[in-house]
Amino acid sequence: MIAETEHIPWKTIRLIFGNGDLTQGRKCLEAIARRLVHARTKHPASEWAGRGDEYGLEVIEGEVRELRIAVKLEGPQRVEDETLDVIAPAVRKYNREDA
């Protein structure tokens, strides 16, 4: 277990995100970073700022609905894309971009 205040080395972060695989961890983090860039371009911080807690939750819920549809009706690539679309607003929520 890693303590909340403990500094986590970059290699360990990659191992965690890759479920023990450094290369997969890097791939995962890069995919999330790319999707954040896309999301912030499409929906800039000014669109999120001051909207409050509910706005971020509504965005996440909308993306989860799209992910559910993809899981039921579409292929693995679309599911992967929609998963990233859930992660991006969740990271933005964590960063309090809706505050």
In a domain, 5, yes or no: no
Is 90 exceeded by the pLDDT of residue 13? yes
* Residue 1 domain flag: no
Paired tokens of 47: 């669109």
pLDDT at 97: 87
CA angle, 6 then 9 then 12, to 5°: 105
d(CA 77, CA 81): 6
Q: How far apart are CA 36 and CA 87, in angstroms?
A: 9
Q: What is the pTM of this model?
A: 0.87
Residue 71 inside a domain? The answer is yes
The residue segments making up the domain with residue 33 are: 10-94
2 is a domain residue: no
pLDDT in tens, 43-81: 888 888 888 788 889 999 999 999 999 999 999 999 999
Task: Return the SS3 of 98.
Answer: coil
| pLDDT tens digit sequence for 21-37 | 999 999 999 999 999 99
When pLDDT is averaged across residues 12-23 and rounded to a whole number, the result is 96
- On the 0-12 / 13-18 / 19+ scale of CB atoms within 10 A, 78 is middle
Q: Confirm whether 85 is domain-assigned.
A: yes
SS3 18: coil
Q: How many domains does the chain have?
A: 1
